C-alpha cells in the first residue's frame, strides 16, 4: 500500500517576521521581545528606520531602557523619528534628564526636531521645578513655528498646568492667545484649573465650551468630588447627557469618601456597567469604615463574576483594611492571592506587610517580608515601622542594620520608624544619636514628624526639661501634635509646672480639644491638687468644651463592634452588661481592679 503524498505547504519566515514587527511596539513580554529582536538582527534589519523605533518603544514598555539604548546605538545615522522614540522612552520611564540629554545630542548631530519632538520632551516636565524648562521649550516652539499643529500648544497647556499655580496662570495666557482651539485644548485648561483648586474659573470655562465630550463632564465632576461638594457633583451628574463607567465610579468614590455609604451603594447598584475600578472603590469604601460583612460579601461577588484583580485593586483594598484594622478581609485577600497563584509585585507585598502590621499581626508581617525575593526601600521602612509600633524595637533595629548592609540608604521615613523603635525600647541615648545622624551622615533635614518622635522619646524617658528645650528651639513652629505629645509625657511623670506651661501653648493652637484639659486635670489629680482639678473642670464648662466618650472596637467573627461609655446602642447590650457585672467580682479576686486614679 502506497503512502499518500502530503501537499507541500509554503511557509515564509519573512512574512511571519513582518507580522510580528507590525505589532512590535505593543509587545510587553520581554522573553518574546528578545526572540523577535534576535530574528531582526539575524535578518540584518536592525538598521531599518521603520523597525528600530518600534523596538525602542517595545523595550520601553518592558522598562528595559538599557536594551532600548543599544538598539538606538546600532543605527549608524539616526533620524528624527528614532530620536523621538528614545526621548519618549526616557520620559515614559521617568528619566527626565536622559530625555533632555538625548535631545541635546540630536541637535549636536545636526538632526532638526519636528512637531512631535517637543511634545514628547514636555512629558519630562512636571512639578513647579520644571516651569523654566517648559518656558524654554515654549520659546523654541515659537522660534521654529510649530504652533500651526494644535497638538503642540495643547501639550504646552498640559505641561504648564503641571507646574503649580504660576504654571496654570501661564497656561491660561496661552489658552487665551490661541486662535484655534479644539476640545482637547478646553479639556486640558479646565483640568489644570481643577487641579489648581480654581473650581469657579473651571466651571465658568466649562459653561463657555462650544461643545463637550464625556472627558469634559468627568473632569468637572471629579473637581466637585475632590472638594467634597457632593451636592454640586450630583446636580452635574444628573445633567450629563451620557454617563460612562468613569462618571459612575467618580460619584461612588465621592460618596464613600464623604462617609455616605448608603448613597454610594445605591449608585453602585444602579451602574449599568461595572469594571474592576468600580468594585475596588465600593469594597475599599466599606472596608475603610469597618463594615466587614458588606466588604467581604462584595469581594466574594466580585470574584464570582470572574473579574481578575490587579495590583491596584489589591493595594487599595489592603490599604482600606489597614486603615480600619479590618483583618478578616485582609486575610481573605491574602487567601485569594495564594489560591489564584497571583504573582505579588513588591508594591503588593508592601501593602500586605502594612496591613498585617496595622491589624496587630506583626509576626505575619515579618513572614511576608522574609519571603520577598525582591525588596525596595518602602519594604524595609514598612516592616521597621510595623515592628516598632508593636514594641519589637530590637528586631526593627536589627533590620535597619541589614537594610544598610543590603545597599539601601535610609530616608526620612526610615528614621521615623527607628526613632519610634528606640522610644518603645527606652533607648533614649541611642535614639538621640540616630536623630543627629540624619543630617550629619545622610543630609536629611529633620521634619516636624521627627521632632515629634524625639520629644516622645525624651518625654517617655523622663527627660522632660530636655524635651521642652527641644520644643522651644525647633526650627519650625510647634503644632498641636508636638505640644500634645509633651503633655502626654507630663501625664506619665506628673511635672505640674511643665504641664501648665504646655497647656498654655496648646490652648493657643487648639482651643477646642477637650482631651488636653482632661489630661491636665488628671495630672493635678495624680499630684493631689484637687483645687486645680476643679479649676480645670470649671474652665472646660465656661468655654463650652466637653470631652467625648472614649470608644473601643472589637473584631469578632468578621464583624467590627464599637462600644462607648454607657453605650446601649448594641443589640446585645443588655446581655453584655450582665456579663460584665458577673465578671467584676472575679476580676477583683484575681487582683485586676479597675484603674480609676486618673478620672
- Quick: pLDDT tens for 100-128: 999 999 999 999 999 889 889 888 887 77
| DSSP structure class, residue 279 | H
Please provide the DSSP assignment of 24-67 as one string: GGG---HHHHHHHHHHHHHTT-TT-TTHHHHHHHHHHHTT-HHH
* Residues linked to residue 560 through DSSP beta bridges, in sequence order: 555
Q: What is the pLDDT of residue 15?
A: 56
R_g of the chain computed on alpha carbons: 31
Under 8 Å CB-to-CB from 446, ≥6 apart: which residues? Answer: 415, 435, 438, 439, 454
* Tens-digit pLDDT profile for residues 219-255: 999 999 999 999 999 999 999 999 999 999 999 999 9
Q: What is the pLDDT of residue 582?
A: 78
Q: Binning pLDDT at 50, 70 and 90, where does residue 148 land?
A: confident
Q: Answer yes or no: is pLDDT of 170 > 70.
A: yes
Phi, psi (rounded to 5 degrees) for 210:
-65, -30
Mean pLDDT, rounded, of the chain:
85
Q: What is the pLDDT of residue 11?
A: 46
Percent with pLDDT over 90 in the chain: 53
The arithmetic mean of pLDDT across residues 181-192, rounded, is: 95
Q: Binning pLDDT at 50, 70 and 90, where does residue 320 land?
A: very high
* Tens-digit pLDDT profile for residues 265-317: 999 999 999 999 999 999 999 999 888 889 999 999 999 999 888 999 999 99
Instruction: Tell me how far apart the alpha carbons of residues 104 and 5 are, in angstroms, rounded to a whole number.
Output: 63
**Which position has the higher pLDDT, 547 or 496?**
496
The arithmetic mean of pLDDT across residues 501-515, rounded, is: 67
Q: What is the pLDDT of residue 585?
A: 79
Q: Binning pLDDT at 50, 70 and 90, where does residue 176 land?
A: very high
Instruction: Tell me how far apart the alpha carbons of residues 288 and 282 are, in angstroms, rounded to a whole number.
Output: 10
Q: What is the pLDDT of residue 443?
A: 93
The arithmetic mean of pLDDT across residues 342-353, rounded, is: 95
**Which position has the higher pLDDT, 53 or 237?**
237
Phi, psi (rounded to 5 degrees) for 449:
-65, -40
The residue with cell 523595550 is 59
**Which position has the higher pLDDT, 388 or 527?**
388
Q: Answer yes or no: is pLDDT of 7 > 60.
A: no
* Tens-digit pLDDT profile for residues 67-98: 999 989 988 889 999 999 999 999 989 898 99
The arithmetic mean of pLDDT across residues 455-459, rounded, is: 91
Q: What is the pLDDT of residue 597?
A: 47
Instruction: Tell me how far apart the alpha carbons of residues 153 and 179 are, in angstroms, rounded to a whole number.
Output: 11
Q: Answer yes or no: is pLDDT of 533 > 90.
A: no
Q: What is the pLDDT of residue 69?
A: 92
Cα 199 to Cα 77, 142, 168, 180, 232: the distances in Å are 50, 30, 13, 24, 11
Buried b (16+ CB within 10 A) or exposed e, 121-131: bbbbbbeeebb
Q: What is the pLDDT of residue 295?
A: 92
Q: Binning pLDDT at 50, 70 and 90, where does residue 598 land?
A: very low
Instruction: Tell me how far apart the alpha carbons of residues 490 and 454 are, in angstroms, rounded to a whole number.
Output: 15
Phi, psi (rounded to 5 degrees) for 362:
-60, -35
The arithmetic mean of pLDDT across residues 14-26, rounded, is: 63
The arithmetic mean of pLDDT across residues 394-414, rounded, is: 95
Buried b (16+ CB within 10 A) or exposed e, 361-381: bbebbbebbeebeebeebbbb
Instruction: Tell me how far apart the alpha carbons of residues 565 and 395 are, in angstroms, rounded to a whole number.
Output: 37
- For residue 556, give the 3-state DSSP assignment: strand
Amino acid at each position: 500500500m502506497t503512502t499518500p503524498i502530503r501537499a507541500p505547504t509554503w511557509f515564509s519566515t519573512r512574512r511571519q517576521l513582518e507580522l510580528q514587527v507590525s505589532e512590535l511596539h505593543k509587545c510587553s513580554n520581554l522573553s518574546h521581545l528578545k526572540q523577535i529582536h534576535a530574528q531582526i538582527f539575524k535578518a540584518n534589519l536592525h538598521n531599518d528606520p521603520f523597525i528600530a523605533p518600534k523596538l525602542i518603544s517595545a523595550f520601553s514598555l518592558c522598562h528595559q531602557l538599557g536594551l532600548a539604548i543599544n538598539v538606538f546605538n546600532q543605527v549608524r545615522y539616526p533620524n528624527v523619528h528614532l530620536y523621538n522614540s528614545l526621548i519618549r522612552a526616557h520620559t515614559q520611564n521617568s528619566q527626565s534628564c536622559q530625555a533632555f540629554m538625548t535631545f541635546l545630542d540630536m541637535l549636536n548631530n545636526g538632526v532638526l526636531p519636528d512637531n512631535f519632538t517637543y511634545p514628547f520632551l514636555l512629558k519630562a516636565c512636571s512639578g513647579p521645578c520644571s516651569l523654566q524648562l517648559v518656558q524654554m521649550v515654549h520659546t523654541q516652539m515659537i522660534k521654529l513655528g510649530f504652533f500651526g499643529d494644535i497638538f503642540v500648544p495643547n501639550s504646552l497647556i498640559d505641561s504648564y498646568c503641571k507646574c503649580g499655580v504660576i504654571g496654570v496662570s501661564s497656561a491660561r495666557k496661552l489658552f487665551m492667545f490661541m486662535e484655534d482651539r479644539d476640545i482637547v485644548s478646553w479639556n486640558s485648561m479646565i483640568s489644570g484649573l481643577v487641579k489648581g483648586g480654581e473650581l469657579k474659573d473651571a466651571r465658568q470655562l466649562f459653561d463657555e465650551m462650544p461643545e463637550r465630550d464625556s472627558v469634559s463632564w468627568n473632569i468637572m465632576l471629579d473637581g466637585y468630588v475632590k472638594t467634597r461638594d457632593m451636592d454640586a457633583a450630583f446636580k452635574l451628574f444628573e445633567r450629563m447627557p451620557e454617563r460612562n463607567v468613569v462618571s459612575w465610579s467618580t460619584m461612588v468614590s465621592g460618596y464613600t469618601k464623604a462617609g455616605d455609604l448608603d448613597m454610594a451603594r445605591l449608585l453602585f447598584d444602579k451602574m449599568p456597567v461595572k469594571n474592576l475600578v468600580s468594585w475596588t472603590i465600593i469594597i475599599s469604601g466599606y472596608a475603610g469604615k469597618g463594615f466587614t460583612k458588606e466588604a467581604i460579601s462584595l469581594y466574594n461577588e466580585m470574584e464570582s463574576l470572574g473579574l481578575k484583580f490587579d495590583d491596584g485593586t489589591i493595594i487599595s483594598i489592603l490599604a482600606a483594611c489597614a486603615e480600619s484594622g479590618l483583618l478578616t478581609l485582609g486575610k481573605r485577600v491574602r487567601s485569594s492571592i495564594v489560591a489564584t497563584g497571583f504573582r505579588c509585585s513588591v508594591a503588593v507585598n508592601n501593602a500586605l506587610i502594612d496591613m498585617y502590621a496595622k491589624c496587630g499581626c506583626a509576626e505575619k508581617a515579618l513572614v511576608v517580608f522574609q519571603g520577598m525575593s525582591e525588596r525596595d526601600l518602602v519594604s524595609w521602612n514598612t516592616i521597621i515601622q510595623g515592628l516598632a509600633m508593636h514594641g519589637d524595637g530590637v528586631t526593627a533595629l536589627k533590620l535597619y542594620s541589614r537594610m544598610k548592609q543590603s545597599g539601601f540608604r535610609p530616608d526620612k521615613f526610615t528614621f521615623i520608624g527607628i526613632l519610634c523603635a528606640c522610644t518603645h525600647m527606652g533607648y533614649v541615648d541611642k535614639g538621640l544619636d540616630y536623630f543627629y545622624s540624619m543630617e550629619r551622615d545622610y543630609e536629611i533635614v529633620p521634619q516636624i514628624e521627627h521632632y515629634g518622635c524625639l520629644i516622645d522619646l525624651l518625654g517617655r524617658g523622663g527627660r522632660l526639661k530636655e524635651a521642652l528645650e527641644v520644643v522651644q528651639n525647633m526650627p519650625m513652629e510647634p503644632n498641636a501634635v508636638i505640644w500634645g505629645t509633651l503633655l502626654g509625657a507630663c501625664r506619665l511623670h506628673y511635672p505640674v509646672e511643665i504641664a501648665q506651661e504646655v497647656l498654655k501653648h496648646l490652648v493657643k493652637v487648639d482651643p477646642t480639644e477637650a482631651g488636653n484639659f482632661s489630661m491636665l486635670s488628671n495630672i493635678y489629680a495624680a499630684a493631689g491638687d484637687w483645687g486645680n482639678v476643679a479649676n480645670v473642670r470649671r474652665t472646660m464648662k465656661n468655654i463650652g468644651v466637653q470631652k467625648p466618650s472614649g470608644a473601643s472596637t472589637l473584631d469578632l467573627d468578621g464583624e467590627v463592634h464599637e462600644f462607648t461609655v454607657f453605650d446601649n446602642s448594641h443589640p446585645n447590650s443588655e446581655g453584655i452588661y450582665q456579663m460584665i457585672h458577673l465578671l467584676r467580682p472575679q476580676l477583683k479576686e484575681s487582683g485586676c481592679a479597675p484603674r480609676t486614679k486618673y478620672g
